[in-house]
Amino acid sequence: MDWRDQGIILSVRPHGETSAVVELFTREHGRHLGLVRGGRSRRQRPVLQPGNIVEAEWRARLSEHLGAYMVELSNAYAALALDDRIALAGLNTLTSLARLLPERDPHAALYEAGLVVLGHISDVEIWPGLLVRWELELLNELGFGLDLASCAATGESGDLAYVSPRTGRAVSRAAGEPYRAKLLALPAFLAREQATGPGLPDVLSGFALTGFFFEKHVFEPRNLVMPEARGRLIAALQAAGEA
């Protein structure tokens, strides 16, 4: 069996003395592993970095086998982020969270959204908000999507300001005001389209929102912990906001 696809490198681990097992998030074949022979060589190491985009060919005798990859670098996003600790933490957050996806299950829309995030990784004014939206889409793909289209109490779509931690549904400012201490903040850029990118406070509120539901639905039930890169990202963004 064999196929060709584009993929984001999620992880790389040594295999034997010269090879590496590479985990890709591919457009058409989902999260998929394969062996890269010579993957630990000096020539291959700069290519096989998490966050890079590669064109990959996978071959195996049977579909259930690990198989072997041949990869060619398409976009070296890891190198762009290497000297920027915030960008590097964001890149590693995306690649770490994508590993939550079931293996070999396609999620083409989420993949395309990931490319958009990585494509803006050099612009800190843009990509953090995009990453929040990507996390929301990941929750949806995992079966825990939030309903932010209308108020759970009134059905209205205007002035949405909160999210119920129990149901994941939006709540309007008026309906939620008496219970605001028990509700999660819904940043404006997630409630409606904006002409400009979100400010840092809204981005941090967005990460708090998605982080709550990741912990509730994904990490705690599986006895997993949030990726360290995500904690570093939020701490770095908070520090940048205080500077």
Residue 193: the pLDDT is: 67
**Does residue 8 carry a pLDDT above 80?**
yes
pLDDT class of 241 with cuts at 50, 70, 90: confident
Report the predicted TM-score, pTM, of the whole model to 2 decimal places.
Answer: 0.95
Q: What is the pLDDT of residues 63-86, one digit of tens each?
A: 889 999 999 999 999 999 999 999
**HEC states along the chain?**
CEEEEEEEEEEEEEECCCEEEEEEEECCCEEEEEEECCCCCCCCCCCCCCCCEEEEEEECCCCCCCCEEEEEEEECHHHHHCCCHHHHHHHHHHHHHHCCCCECCCCHHHHHHHHHHHHCCCCCCCHHHHHHHHHHHHHHHCCCCCECCCCCCCCCCCCEEEECCCCCEEEEHHHHHHHHHHCEECCHHHHCCCCCCCCHHHHHHHHHHHHHHHHHHHHCCCCCCCCHHHHHHHHHHHHHHHC
pLDDT in tens, 102-151: 999 999 999 999 999 999 999 999 999 999 999 999 999 999 999 999 99
Domain boundaries in the chain?
A: 2-75, 80-148+186-242
Domain 2-75 CATH assignment equals 2.40.50.140: yes
Reported as a single tens digit per residue, the pLDDT across 156-187 is 998 999 999 999 999 999 999 999 999 999 99
Question: In the prediction, which pLDDT does 195 show?
Answer: 52
